[in-house]
Amino acid sequence: MSLIRELFGKSPFGPLVEHARKVHECVKLVRPLMEACVREDWEAIHRLQDTVTKLEYEADVVKHEIRDHLPRRYFLPVSRPDLDRYLHCQDNIADAAQDFAVVLLIRRTKIHPALVQGFLDFVDQVVLVSETLMGAATELEALAETSFGGAEAESVLKKISGLGEGEWKADRMQRKLSQHIYSLEKELDPITVIFYEKFLQTLSALANAAENTGDMLRTMIVKG
Partner 1 sequence: MEWLVTGGAVAVCLYMAWTIGANDVANSMGAPVGAGCITVKQAILIAAIFEFAGSVLVGTDVTDTIRKSIVEPTALAGRPEVLCLGMACALLASALWLHVATFLGMPVSTTHSIVGAVAGFGVVAAGVHSVHWGRMGEIVASWFISPVAGLALGYLIFKFILRSVLTKAQPLPAAVRMTPFIVLLTTLVVALATIYDGLKNLIRKESPLAAYLTGGRAVVVSVIIALAAAALSWLLMRRYARKGGKLSIPEQLRWVERVFVPLAVMAACSVSFAHGANDVANAVGPLAAVLDILKSGKVVPQVIVPFWILALGGLGIVLGLATYGYTVMRTIGKEITEITPSRAMAASIAAAATVLACTRLGLPVSTSHCVVGAVLGIGLARGLGAVNRRVTRNIFGSWLATVPAAAGMAMLLFVLGHHLGLDALLKQLMPAVP
Residue 184 DSSP label: T
Calculate the alpha carbon distances from 88 to 15, 19, 129, 203, 217 in Å. 14, 11, 18, 18, 12
Using CB under 8 A, which of 18, 60, 65, 152 touches partner 1?
152
Q: Which of 40, 110, 114, 150 binds partner 1 (CB under 8 A)?
A: 150
> What mask of x and - would describe binding to partner 1 in positions 165 to 204, judged by CB under 8 A?
----------------------------------------
When binding is defined by CB under 8 A, the residue of 61, 64, 121, 149 that contacts partner 1 is 149
Over the window 38 to 77, marking each residue x when it contacts partner 1 by CB under 8 A and - when it does not, the resulting string is -------------------------------xx--xxxxx
Please provide the DSSP assignment of 81-142 as one string. HHHHHHHHHHHHHHHHHHHHHHHHHHS-PPPPGGGHHHHHHHHHHHHHHHHHHHHHHTTHHH
Q: Based on CB atoms, which residue is closest to partner 1, 95 or 139?
A: 139
d(CA 186, CA 164): 35
Q: Is the dihedral of CA 207, 213, 218, 221 positive or negative?
A: negative
CA dist., res. 116 & res. 118, Å (int): 5
Quick one: which of 117, 155, 161, 179 contacts partner 1 (CB under 8 A)? 155
Residue 147: CB minimum distance to partner 1, A = 4
Quote the least distance from Cβ 17 to partner 1, whole Å. Answer: 11
Question: Residue 20 CB, nearest distance to partner 1 (Å)?
Answer: 14
Is there binding between residue 148 and partner 1 (CB under 8 A)? yes
Query: What whole-number distance in Å separates Cα of residue 211 and Cα of residue 95?
Result: 15
DSSP state of 10: P
Q: Least separation, in Å, of the C-beta of 153 and partner 1?
A: 8
Comparison of 13 and 119: residue with beta carbon closer to partner 1: 13
**Positive or negative, the Cα torsion across 186, 101, 33, 200?**
positive
Dist CA 49 CA 28 (whole Å): 12
Q: Which is nearer to partner 1, 6 or 43 (CB)?
A: 6
Q: Is 13 in the site for partner 1 (CB under 8 A)?
A: yes
Q: Does residue 145 belong to the site contacting partner 1 (CB under 8 A)? A: yes
Q: Using only C-alpha atoms, what is the Rg of the chain?
A: 20
Task: Supply the minimum distance, in Å, between the C-beta of residue 219 and partner 1.
Answer: 15
The Cα 104–Cα 70 span in angstroms is: 37
Asked whether position 139 contacts partner 1 by CB under 8 A, the answer is: yes
Interaction site with partner 1 (CB under 8 A): 1-14, 69-70, 73-78, 139, 141-142, 144-153, 155, 224
